[in-house]
Structure 1
Amino acid sequence: MTLPVPIDTPRALVDLAEAGVAVWLDDLSRPLVRQGGLADLVRTRGVIGVTSNPSIFATSVAGTDAYTPQLAQLANAGRDAEAAVRTLTTDDVRDACDVLAEVYASTDGVDGRVSIEVDPRLAHDTEATVAQARELWDTVDRPNLFIKIPATVEGLPAITRTLAAGISVNVTLIFSLERYREVIEAHLDGLAQAKAAGHDLSRLASVASFFVSRVDTAVDGRLEEIGGDAAEALLGTAAIANARLAYRLWEQYQDDPRWTELAAAGALTQRPLWASTSVKNPAYPDTRYVDELVAPHTVNTMPGSTLEQVGDHGQVTGDTARAFDDADRVMASLADVGVDMAEVTDELEAQGVQKFIDSWQDLLGTVDEALKAHR
């Protein structure tokens, strides 16, 4: 599928769209939305979706006075920090959904999506996650919304039940191939239940957010501890190999009879989404997690800096995500030198949840202090 982009978009971003990669922005703030920055990125950079997370919101609220008038109103209304944070974040996401409404319409509901995450403190509470997913869906009240649910063990049934209720889901914090397989199963189960409940599958979308750069950071640290030529030769290879094998897994499921039956009923495929695509190691090319993961039916969500780097000097040379044999060799070599990828990805999942909890707590603290000041 070739995605539409404006004619004055940088060549590399056009090439991504022509290769079937949806370019999304991994950032959201009130100034970006309300001062026209997001609309400009849609017009000039081919951005057709937005992701957010607790860290992004914490940075946004703390870094601008754009929220001050509303914080004063919320303080005067007697709102506590929890309620105020929900109001601030859902208002921003609703506004972003409206900016992307035309993209949503022009892509038949595939893109033009904006994500908001359930409270990360609920990552291990299935019932509370399902309840808050419904609350967020009703509060934002836009068809092009994604509810982000982490791919924890407890998150898997929440994913199924949320989809079954006709709510579109962005599954986040996926690191391992085994967990991704479970996410795909949860998606299929959710779609089957949604179909049985009479929901329109053609409007029920989902993406599976597979985190990339954090894998290299974790694995490279282990390789440096192991030392030696064999370990050194594997530096910077794990993340892309891991993501490529995830794409192979997605391709394999396209032939699953359960999926083909759902697709015949109008269901949208759950696209792999490459997240955490900014390069953490300055020794690596700054566009590598975009250039090396090009394939049809994928999403690449980039922070603004990465988006500009790709537009300036990205090297999109066609389909690069299907180098499966090379990815298999990398994984075998990592095991040979003593890297336990299951252990790595388990640690990354736990760290990812905790990082978002910490950011959420920071956001609550910032808002609480602001409310007290206004009172």
Structure 2
Amino acid sequence: MSKRLHELYENEGQSAWLDNLRRDYITSGKLVDIRDGGALGLTSNPSIFQKAIQGSSDYDEQFAEIAADDGPIVDDYWSLVIRDIHAACDVFSKVYDHSDGVDGYVSVEVAPDLAHDGPGTEQAARDLHTRINRRNLMVKIPGTEAGLAPIEEMIAEGRSINVTLIFSLPRYEKVIEAYITGLERLAEDADADLSQVASVASFFISRVDVEVDKRLETIGSDEALALRGKAAVAQGKLAYKLFTEKFSGDRWERLAARGARVQRPLWASTGAKNPEYPDTLYVDELIGPDTVNTLPDATLDAFVDHGTVARRVDVDVAESEAVWAKLPEVGVDMDDVAAQLEREGVDSFAKAFDELIAALEDKAASLRS
């Protein structure tokens, strides 16, 4: 394990997960190397699979076999994805065992066109858990308004869930409520083992600064420009404060006594998109106990090389509160920012999914001809 990732986990209580998956990572043994280097889990999404499948020939042999049956291309897509997820779960099962089920999870997302379809999301999440059938699987459900009921239901059924695409504090509070309520429903069964249920709440970070900075620059005042690069970290620190508040007190302690685990905040989209910002900004500033940071390859490598391992997520919280109060004063509507980012996030994954399905349809037609 790299020195920094070891210190991150052992000293500060944060787990680093890899935000990427490719077939050649599995076949070449690179994923094992990444795991042994200190990555304690893995996340994927439709955009990641689009790049992996369209960007290489690694899937051609399997696709040629499954496309020959002339079935729906979307079924072929899931066959490709599930093979990778199975293999990744097997790689990280060692971490799952050694951490007693705290880490070692691999996440796969329901189809992105279900983001506003609650019943469809619930059925898709249940089907993925059944079909993949790995104890260290987390199915990703978008934290949209429509996703809240399926999140609660999956937790109540004892299934591990990664809640993705969270962009606001009010929505995050609802996600926490869905998780706790789901656990309370599960606990109605006196024989239920709550310790077997795990969840993370994926708060997207860097995209917040991208959108807020753009609005601050449009406003253009000195007060507004002084806030550039501060909104994302401020919101992350306030999210962590909310986490510590919600996972304490009598209500939570009753569940904890039954073995329930906290739903850890997961910092997603942590690669710095503005080249003027330090490339490890969204890792360094959000380090703290009971958190996860899922990093793309370049950000993981950068942190291993020159990141700063120090608890920061609950430091200077008053300053974060001041930033948060100042943003609407200078003219930035953070509710509107969150709504826009959610739309863009859902649309981005849906576009990647649709483009990949279209490319697979073309490839299948070529093979059949």
TM-score of the aligned structures, taking structure 2 as reference length: 0.97
Letter paired with 1:84: D
Q: Distance in 1 between matches of 2:88 and 2:263?
A: 22
Aligned: 1:365 with 2:363 = no
State how 1:314-329 maps to structure 2 within 5 Å: 314-329=307-322
Choose from 34, 40, 48 the match for 1:41. Answer: 34
1:58 match? 50
**Comparing 310-319 with 144-153, which one deviates more in the overlay?**
310-319
State how 1:73-152 maps to structure 2 within 5 Å: 73-152=65-144
Choose from 211, 214, 217 the match for 1:224. Answer: 217
Q: Distance in 1 between matches of 2:314 and 2:285?
A: 6
1:261 match? 254
Aligned: 1:22 with 2:15 = yes
Report the CA distance between 1:79 and its aligned residue.
2.6
| Per-residue deviation, residues 73-120 of structure 1 (Å, max 9, x unmatched) | 111222321100111111111110000011000111110000000011
Runs of 4+ in 1 over 6 A off after TM superposition: none
SS at match of 1:147: strand
Aligned: 1:285 with 2:302 = no
Aligned: 1:334 with 2:327 = yes
Choose from 146, 156, 171 the match for 2:163. Answer: 171
Q: Distance in 2 between matches of 1:180 and 1:137?
A: 24
Letter paired with 1:170: N
Q: How many residue pairs align between the two structures?
A: 366
| Per-residue deviation, residues 305-328 of structure 1 (Å, max 9, x unmatched) | 000000111122333444210110
Q: Distance in 2 between matches of 1:234 and 1:363?
A: 38
SS at match of 2:141: strand
Cα pair 1:15 1:316 within 8 Å, conserved: yes
SS at match of 2:265: strand
State how 1:223-262 maps to structure 2 within 5 Å: 223-262=216-255
Cα pair 1:57 1:89 within 8 Å, conserved: yes
Letter paired with 1:352: G
1:3 match? none
Cα pair 2:286 2:311 within 8 Å, conserved: no
SS at match of 2:158: coil
Letter paired with 2:208: V
Letter paired with 2:256: A
Letter paired with 1:255: S
| Per-residue deviation, residues 316-362 of structure 1 (Å, max 9, x unmatched) | 23334442101101011112111111111111111111111111101
Choose from 284, 292, 306 the match for 1:313. Answer: 306
Report the CA distance between 1:15 and its aligned residue.
2.5
**Comparing 212-221 with 14-23, which one deviates more in the overlay?**
14-23
TM-score of the aligned structures, taking structure 1 as reference length: 0.96
Choose from 336, 339, 349 the match for 2:342. Answer: 349
Cα pair 2:128 2:139 within 8 Å, conserved: yes
Aligned: 1:191 with 2:183 = yes
Report the CA distance between 1:260 and its aligned residue.
1.0
RMSD across aligned C-alpha pairs, in angstroms? 1.1
Report the CA distance between 1:368 and its aligned residue.
1.4
| Per-residue deviation, residues 242-267 of structure 1 (Å, max 9, x unmatched) | 00000000000122322111111001
State how 1:66-77 maps to structure 2 within 5 Å: 66-77=58-69
Cα pair 1:295 1:322 within 8 Å, conserved: no
1:158 match? 150
Report the CA distance between 1:14 and its aligned residue.
2.5
SS at match of 2:308: coil
Unaligned residue ranges in structure 1 (runs of 5+): 1-5
Cα pair 1:117 1:149 within 8 Å, conserved: yes
Cα pair 2:67 2:73 within 8 Å, conserved: no
SS at match of 2:305: helix
**Comparing 360-369 with 173-182, which one deviates more in the overlay?**
360-369
Letter paired with 1:299: V
